[in-house]
């Protein structure tokens, strides 16, 4: 953890280092992924079988390639009642929020008599990647699958690795609840390639979303254009802007809720109260000991945590915009939070006031928890129904409208040296 104060000499340089720090490993990932992607494209199921044997240590022909809907239903029925109603509440709220995102078609006729519009349609098929192991989260299944279903996607395919053949029943239960149509027990770059190109068994999809390790992220990046993807995701981060009236233990828990995800996660506190800053630093040390995730949280907090003391919370906001954080908590009185929010230009999701912990957005609030990381909130948005839809523009002119607009098109086409363009209009103007 580093501690900074805006009044210290050298603050600018230190803060710039914080902004620019790359927490993403690359190494030979890109090269390995190119090899895997090419093998799946060329050899299909055989490559998928071989990579699964190698990386996940089980034989798909023995464990089975698919997990049947009946098995997902069983997993759902076996949930403890409290967990089942929590998942149901989450699903209901996420579905409602994303249904509200469906864009409206447009269709207008202008003064020239030209009818212009746009029509939104869902993609035919979408694939969602669900990690195995440490990051196998049923909430991620809901956050990826429900926007696709809200968009109207007919065929929703889930891929998830089952290392050593072991399945995660929570993930299957969420797949049932979210209406996933197919579940394949494959993972890694090979699973993304299978979704993009199709194999003998797996039909290709149009869009691939979902979190994954560096290999999965790189496979999505390499296959962008063959399929649509959501975003290249990196290690996640939280920025908490808090005044001294908060409970230090609560803010410490907020910071650690990001740190416990991964050693590369980042948690940063901005406060205008140096005494409160000390209290949070101490509370983090106390809280961290209570966590079953202490090892990861400790590693992340030590390497990437930061506490920045500022003159005023307002003065923190330009710094926050430079960080363009995935998650931003404005932990202060609601009126102050709203004032600060007006200064926010770049953030994935903002949590206002003292009673809105980031974790409430991870699970049940409704907005998506798949958000731009690594400063990408400068230009990209959280996952939404738009990632599973596309827009077709349309034009309809009658003779009168063409007579009005045509001559300008002819002039421009001729100026650009495209005579067939000009002819296609001019021939209709005779």
Query: Mind telling me the catalytic residues?
Result: 326-327
Q: Are strands 115-122 and 106-109 parallel, antiparallel or unpaired?
A: antiparallel
CB of 4 to its own copies, least distance (A): 23
CB of 10 to its own copies, least distance (A): 23
DSSP notation for 154-192: SEEEEE---GGG---HHHHHHHHHHT--EEE---HHHHH
Q: Check whether 213 is labelled as a binding-site residue.
A: yes
Q: Check whether 421 is labelled as a binding-site residue.
A: yes
* N-term to C-term CA, the chain: 75
Q: Are strands 237-242 and 266-271 parallel, antiparallel or unpaired?
A: parallel
Q: What is the Cα gyration radius of the chain? A: 25
Continuous segment of H or E residues that includes residue 278: helix 274-290
C-alpha span between 230 and 225 (Å, rounded): 12
Q: Which is nearer to its own copies, 161 or 374 (CB)?
A: 374
CB of 186 to its own copies, least distance (A): 21
C-alpha span between 333 and 340 (Å, rounded): 11
Q: Which is nearer to its own copies, 49 or 298 (CB)?
A: 298
Q: Check whether 98 is labelled as a binding-site residue.
A: no
Q: Check whether 261 is labelled as a binding-site residue.
A: yes
Q: Which is nearer to its own copies, 61 or 85 (CB)?
A: 85
Continuous segment of H or E residues that includes residue 413: helix 399-415
Angle, helix 29-43 to helix 45-56, in steps of 10 degrees: 140
> In the numeric block, which tokens belong to residue 129?
């990647």
Q: Which is nearer to its own copies, 62 or 355 (CB)?
A: 355
Q: Check whether 190 is labelled as a binding-site residue.
A: yes
CB of 255 to its own copies, least distance (A): 8
- Residues in the annotated binding site: 129, 190, 213, 236, 258, 261, 327, 362, 416, 421
Binding residues for NAD(+): 129, 190, 213
Which segments are annotated as binding site for substrate?
236, 258, 261, 327, 362, 416, 421
């Amino acid at each position: 953890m580093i501690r900074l104060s805006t009044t210290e000499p050298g603050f600018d340089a230190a803060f710039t280092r914080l902004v620019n720090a790359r927490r993403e490993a690359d190494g030979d990932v890109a090269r390995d992924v190119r090899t895997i992607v090419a093998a799946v494209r060329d050899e299909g199921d055989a490559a998928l079988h071989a990579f699964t044997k190698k990386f996940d240590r089980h034989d798909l022909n023995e464990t089975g390639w698919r997990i049947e809907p009946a098995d997902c239903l069983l997993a759902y029925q076996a949930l403890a009642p409290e967990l089942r109603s929590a998942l149901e509440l989450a699903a209901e709220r996420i579905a409602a929020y994303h249904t509200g995102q469906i864009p409206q078609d447009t269709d207008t006729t202008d003064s020239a008599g030209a009818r212009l519009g746009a029509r939104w349609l869902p993609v035919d098929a979408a694939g969602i990647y669900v990690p195995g192991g440490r990051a196998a989260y049923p909430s991620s299944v809901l956050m990826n699958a429900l926007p696709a279903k809200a968009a109207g996607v007919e065929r929703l395919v889930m891929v998830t690795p089952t290392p050593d053949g072991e399945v995660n029943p929570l993930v299957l239960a969420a797949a049932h609840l979210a209406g996933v149509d197919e579940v394949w027990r494959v993972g890694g770059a090979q699973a993304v390639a299978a979704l993009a190109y199709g194999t003998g068994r797996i039909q290709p999809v149009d869009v691939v979303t979902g979190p994954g390790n560096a290999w999965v992220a790189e496979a999505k990046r390499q296959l962008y254009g063959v399929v649509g993807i959501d975003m290249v995701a990196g290690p996640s981060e939280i920025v908490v802007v808090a005044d001294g009236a908060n409970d230090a233990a609560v803010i410490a828990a907020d910071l650690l809720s990001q740190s416990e995800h991964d050693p590369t996660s980042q948690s940063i506190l901005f406060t205008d109260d140096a005494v409160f800053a000390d209290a949070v630093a101490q509370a983090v040390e106390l809280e961290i000991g209570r966590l079953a995730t202490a090892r990861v949280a400790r590693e992340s907090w030590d390497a990437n945590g930061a506490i920045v003391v500022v003159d005023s919370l307002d003065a923190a906001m330009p710094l926050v915009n430079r960080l363009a954080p995935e998650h931003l908590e404005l932990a202060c009185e609601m009126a102050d939070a709203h004032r600060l929010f007006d200064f926010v230009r770049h953030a994935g999701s903002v949590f206002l006031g003292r009673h809105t912990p980031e974790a409430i957005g991870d699970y049940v609030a409704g907005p998506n928890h798949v958000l731009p990381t690594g400063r990408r909130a400068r230009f990209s948005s959280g996952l939404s129904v738009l990632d599973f839809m596309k827009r077709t523009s349309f034009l309809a002119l009658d003779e009168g409208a063409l007579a009005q607009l045509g001559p300008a098109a002819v002039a421009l086409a001729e100026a650009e040296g495209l005579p067939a363009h000009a002819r296609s209009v001019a021939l209709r103007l005779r």
